[in-house]
Structures are given as structure tokens and as C-alpha cells.
């Protein structure tokens, strides 16, 4: 199958995963607010910060493994794949063991630092300790997930993630209705993590013989780890950024506004993450694709791929951006079944702008990794993190919750601007022209659609129909179909994309 068809298949499967994630994200919060309340929801938001800390122990090898497996497949070097997987399995088993042991000594101080006064309650303390084990179990799946992605089988990895997500969500909902409280969420996460690990083990052993479950020799292990470490700084910078910014942001909100506002922030972030996810599925498989093109020295194809990626990114992401920007307040009211959504709405719109700015740099940062440099990631994450911490400390005490949100927006804008400037300088690709051109072409199509639909809503907003979430889903569907039709009419969606989809879904046509 040709590379562009694999890329399409991987993007579509990632989009399917995102659709399931979106459905789960829409279903869970109203149930949590009803059975737990906003304060307990805020405590849960603090507990799951453990994921960011555990992710640091990944050492950033996940993306590196994807890149080098993709390169090995391109040059048909199966021995190298076996050595890389053997080294990673050995390392991650050691990380899991050491992490659990460290938790026994440092878990309690970390719990009190994150939860504050809530950490004094015995029930939260036990849940925190169990969730740490859940997070480390999830870390063990990284080598297997990276293997599938490096082989450009995102579809198989995404199926596992979809089923695990649904399993965990169903268990959580059943238990929370039965009165388990936050314990229901921890139990669902634990069962999903175990199921995910077992599924990856079975799939990779059943269908792929590119690695062995054995301890590699010391020299082979050392060489593989040194190679993976060349790009690990990129993932490490992202993980360190997440740890610092999410900790500073949520702890600052807890200190300056109260734990209930941590729940407000998490709800707003949850909605905004959907547009970020919809946009990023376009370039999630970009890194192994770029790695293959770079290994084959196909620079012209690389530039064409990046240009089309930005266009598709705008075509998919911008309709959601305008939908949320125009209708955030009534959508929240229909979703959460509460009247006062002003705080969540304000937070959501600010975070929406920040997320949109951030995802526009996605193709550039992922392409830079595929081209063999982690410096772009480091520069972006380092500056964004420094700005975020500095501005939170300045604006948080004076402006409270709103100041913290403004700090996050300004930090994302500064980091994105620097990253795009460096990419243009290093790789001689007019990245700003690509982004502005894509936004202009798609917005010229999208804005008229949402202005017409927005006018229809204004004249009928007193109707009780708009209190139903189903009505808003239908409204979004009408806007999406109308936008798609206009894409076709103006030529943004051409026969190229139709042929691409047809051949990707019928692999024999592309051989």
C-alpha cells in the first residue's frame, strides 16, 4: 500500500478513536456532576495529575521508537526492530518496578502536595495510591503501542484504545450509579489499563514476530537506548511541560479560587480538548510518514505532504472552532443541565483560542521529529512552560481564575510563534504562508455557514428544543454537512481526496 493511503487509513482510524472519546467525554461529566458534585470532580482532576508525573518516567522513548521502527521497515531491517523492542521491553519493565517502589516512599508527600486539605481524607488517600498503580500499568503499554504505530498500523492500536476506553467508561458509570463515588472512576481506570496491556501483548505476539521477549545483551541494549535517546528530548520536553504547567495551573486555581474552580477548569478543558483532538488526528501519523520520506530522500513529497496536512487540519478543525466559539453557553447548558455556566464558558473560550494556536504548530513539530531533530519541541515547550509559570505567578494573585486562564493563552501563543519561526528558518518551508493560506481558504467557506445557522438560532433560541443536547448534535451535523458540500463546490475537496479515500479503503487498488 502506498504511503499516502497508509497515512489516510491511520488518520481515519485516529478520527474514529476521537469520535468515541468525544462521546465518552460528553456522557461522563453530567453523570459525575450529578452523583459527585463539582468539588469532588475537582479532587478527581487533581488525582489524575499523576498521569503527567508517571509519563516523565517514559524517558521520551515512545516517539523515538516509532521513528526508528518506521525507518527500519523502510529499509527492511528486521534485526534492528527486534533489538529496539527487546531493549525497550527490558527498560520499561525496570521503570515499572522502580516506579512502584518509589511510590511507597514518595507517594504520600506527592498526594498531600496535589490534593491539599483533601489529601487528609482517608478515602482520597487510598484512591490516590491505587491510581498511581493504574498509571504505571498504562506506561507498560508504550513499547507495544509504539511498535504498531512505527509499522504504520495506527488502526490496530486505535481499536485497542477504543475498546479499553469504552470498557473503563461503562464500568465507571455502573459503579458510580451504585454509589462507589470516586472509587468507581479508579476501578474503571484500573480494569481498562489491565485490559489494554493484555490486548497489546496478545496482538503483537499473535501477528508480529519482529521482536522477542528476552533480555538483550548489554552492548546491544546500550546501543539501542543511546539511539532512542537522540530524540527523546522532544517527548521529555512535552511531558515536563505538562507536569509543570498542569501542576502550577491547577494548584494555583485551588489556592486562589478554590477546588470547585479546578472542576470548572477541567470541564472547560475537556470540551476544548475535543477540537484539539479532531485537529491533531490529521497529523498523528505524520511523524512515521515523514521519517519514511526522509529516509528515501523525497523532499518534494515531504513539502507536498506538509502543505496538504495544514489544509486538512483547517478543514476538519475550524468548523468545530467556530461552532464552539458561537454557541458555547447554550451548548453547556444543554450538556450539563445547569443554568449558570458563565465561568465554564469564559474558561472554555479562552482555552479554545489557546488550543487552536497550539494545534497549528502540530504538523511542524511532528515533521521536525521525523526529520531527526528534537530541538523544535524543546524550544517550544521550554518557552511555553517558562511563560506559563511566570504569568500565572504574576496574574494569578491579582486576577484569580481569569488571570490564570489568560496566562495559559499568552504562553501558548508565544511558544507557537517561536516554534513556527524556527521551523521556517531550519527547513526552508514557508510554514506561516501555509497556515494563513489554509485558514483563509477554509474560513471563507465555513463562516457563511455558521453565520446563517447562528442567525437561525438567534431567532429561535427561546424554544425549549435548544435545551436538548441531541438538538445541538443535529445542529453541528447540519453545519458539518453544509460545510463539506461547500468544500466540494469550491474545490477544496477534490477528486484527489476521493481517490485517496477509495484506494485507502481498498488496499489492492494501490499496489
Domain count, the chain: 2
Query: Final residue of a domain: which of 184, 214, 230?
Result: 230
Q: What is the pLDDT along the chain (511 residues), one digit of tens a residue?
A: 455 666 667 767 777 777 787 778 778 878 887 788 777 777 887 788 788 778 777 777 777 788 778 777 777 777 777 777 877 888 888 888 888 887 777 767 777 766 665 555 556 777 887 888 888 888 888 888 888 887 777 778 888 888 998 999 899 999 988 888 888 888 999 999 999 888 888 887 766 655 554 555 666 677 777 766 665 666 667 777 777 887 888 888 888 887 778 877 877 777 676 656 555 555 555 666 676 677 777 777 777 777 787 888 888 788 888 888 888 888 888 877 766 777 778 888 888 888 888 888 888 887 787 777 778 878 888 888 899 899 998 988 888 888 888 998 999 899 899 989 998 888 888 888 888 888 998 998 898 888 888 888 888 887 888 888 788 888 888 888 999 889 888 888 776 655 655 554 454 444 3
Asked if residue 153 is part of any domain, the answer here is: yes
Judge whether 47 and 133 are in contact, CB under 8 Å.
Answer: no
Domain match, 87 and 147 both: yes
Domain match, 174 and 48 both: yes
Domain match, 220 and 236 both: no
Q: What is the DSSP letter of 509?
A: G
Asked if residue 422 is part of any domain, the answer here is: yes
In the structure, how many helices (H) and strands (E) does the chain have? 20, 0
Residue whose C-alpha is closest to residue 19's, from 195, 192, 267, 277: 277
Judge whether 154 and 285 are in contact, CB under 8 Å.
Answer: yes
Asked if residue 18 is part of any domain, the answer here is: no
Query: Final residue of a domain: which of 201, 230, 259?
Result: 230
Domain match, 180 and 310 both: no
- Its domain, for residue 281, covers 231-511
**Reduced to 3 states, what is the DSSP secondary structure of residue 285?**
coil
Domain match, 183 and 248 both: no
CA distance 231 to 59: 10
Residue 327 pLDDT: 86
Asked if residue 17 is part of any domain, the answer here is: no
Q: C-alpha 114: how far from its chain's center?
A: 23
Whole-model pTM: value is 0.66
Domain match, 202 and 269 both: no
Q: C-alpha 246: how far from its chain's center?
A: 14
Domain match, 275 and 303 both: yes
Domain match, 58 and 161 both: yes
Domain match, 446 and 404 both: yes
Asked if residue 215 is part of any domain, the answer here is: yes
Asked if residue 2 is part of any domain, the answer here is: no
Query: What are the C-alpha distances in Å from 124 to residues 55, 76, 114, 175, 380?
Result: 22, 51, 11, 17, 36
Asked if residue 161 is part of any domain, the answer here is: yes
Query: Final residue of a domain: which of 175, 199, 230?
Result: 230
Judge whether 419 and 385 are in contact, CB under 8 Å.
Answer: no
Those residues whose C-beta lies under 8 Å from the C-beta of residue 367, and which sit 6 or more positions away, are 286, 287, 290, 302, 306, 423, 427
Question: CB-side exposure of 481: number of CA atoms within 13 Å?
Answer: 5
Domain match, 456 and 473 both: yes
CA distance 225 to 95: 14
Asked if residue 487 is part of any domain, the answer here is: yes
Domain match, 147 and 28 both: yes
CA distance 415 to 296: 31
CA distance 265 to 382: 23
Q: Which three cell numbers stand for residue 133?
A: 498503580
CA distance 294 to 302: 8
Domain match, 196 and 259 both: no
Amino acid at each position: 500500500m502506498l504511503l499516502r493511503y497508509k497515512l489516510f487509513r491511520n488518520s481515519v482510524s485516529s478520527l474514529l478513536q476521537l469520535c468515541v472519546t468525544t462521546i465518552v467525554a460528553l456522557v461522563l461529566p453530567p453523570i459525575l456532576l450529578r452523583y459527585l458534585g463539582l468539588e469532588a470532580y475537582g479532587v478527581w482532576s487533581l488525582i489524575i495529575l499523576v498521569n503527567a508525573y508517571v509519563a516523565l518516567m517514559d524517558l521520551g522513548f515512545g516517539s523515538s521508537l516509532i521513528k526508528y521502527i518506521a525507518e527500519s521497515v523502510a529499509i527492511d531491517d528486521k534485526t534492528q526492530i527486534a533489538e529496539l523492542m527487546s531493549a525497550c521491553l527490558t527498560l520499561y519493565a525496570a521503570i515499572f518496578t522502580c516506579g512502584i517502589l518509589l511510590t511507597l516512599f514518595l507517594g504520600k508527600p506527592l498526594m498531600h502536595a496535589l490534593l491539599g486539605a483533601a489529601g487528609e481524607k482517608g478515602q482520597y488517600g487510598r484512591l490516590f495510591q491505587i491510581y498511581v498503580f493504574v498509571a504505571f500499568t498504562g506506561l507498560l503499554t508504550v513499547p507495544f503501542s509504539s511498535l504498531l504505530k512505527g509499522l504504520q498500523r495506527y488502526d490496530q492500536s486505535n481499536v485497542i484504545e477504543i475498546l479499553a476506553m469504552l470498557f473503563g467508561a461503562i464500568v465507571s458509570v455502573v459503579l458510580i450509579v451504585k454509589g462507589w463515588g470516586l472509587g468507581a472512576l479508579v476501578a474503571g481506570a484500573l480494569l481498562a489499563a489491565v485490559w489494554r496491556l493484555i490486548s497489546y501483548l496478545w496482538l503483537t505476539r499473535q501477528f508480529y514476530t519482529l521482536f522477542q521477549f528476552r533480555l538483550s545483551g548489554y552492548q546491544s541494549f546500550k546501543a539501542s537506548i543511546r539511539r532512542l535517546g537522540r530524540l527523546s528530548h522532544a517527548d521529555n520536553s512535552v511531558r515536563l511541560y505538562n507536569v509543570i504547567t498542569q501542576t502550577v495551573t491547577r494548584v494555583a486555581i485551588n489556592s486562589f479560587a478554590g477546588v470547585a474552580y479546578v472542576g470548572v477548569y477541567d470541564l472547560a478543558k475537556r470540551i476544548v480538548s475535543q477540537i484539539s483532538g479532531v485537529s491533531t488526528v490529521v497529523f498523528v501519523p505524520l511523524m512515521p510518514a515523514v521519517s519514511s520520506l526522509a529516509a528515501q530522500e523525497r523532499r518534494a513529497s515531504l513539502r507536498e505532504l506538509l502543505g496538504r496536512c495544514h489544509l486538512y487540519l483547517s478543514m476538519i478543525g475550524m468548523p468545530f472552532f467556530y461552532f464552539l466559539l458561537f454557541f458555547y453557553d447554550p451548548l453547556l447548558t444543554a450538556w450539563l443541565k445547569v443554568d449558570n455556566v458563565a465561568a465554564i464558558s469564559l474558561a472554555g473560550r479562552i482555552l479554545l483560542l489557546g488550543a487552536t494556536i497550539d494545534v497549528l504548530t502540530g504538523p511542524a513539530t511532528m515533521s521536525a521529529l521525523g526529520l531527526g531533530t528534537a530541538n523544535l519541541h524543546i524550544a517550544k515547550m521550554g518557552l511555553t512552560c517558562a511563560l506559563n509559570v511566570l504569568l500565572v505567578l504574576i496574574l494569578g494573585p491579582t486576577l484569580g481564575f481569569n488571570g490564570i486562564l489568560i496566562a495559559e493563552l499568552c504562553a501558548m501563543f508565544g511558544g507557537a510563534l517561536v516554534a513556527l519561526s524556527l521551523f521556517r528558518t531550519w527547513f526552508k518551508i514557508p510554514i506561516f504562508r501555509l497556515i494563513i493560506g489554509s485558514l483563509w481558504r477554509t474560513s471563507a467557506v465555513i463562516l457563511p455557514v455558521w453565520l446563517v445557522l447562528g442567525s437561525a438560532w438567534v431567532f429561535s433560541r427561546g424554544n425549549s428544543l435548544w435545551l436538548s443536547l441531541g438538538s445541538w448534535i443535529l445542529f453541528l451535523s447540519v453545519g458539518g454537512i453544509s460545510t463539506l458540500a461547500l468544500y466540494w463546490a469550491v474545490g477544496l475537496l477534490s477528486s484527489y481526496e476521493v481517490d485517496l479515500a477509495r484506494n485507502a479503503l481498498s488496499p489492492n487498488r494501490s499496489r
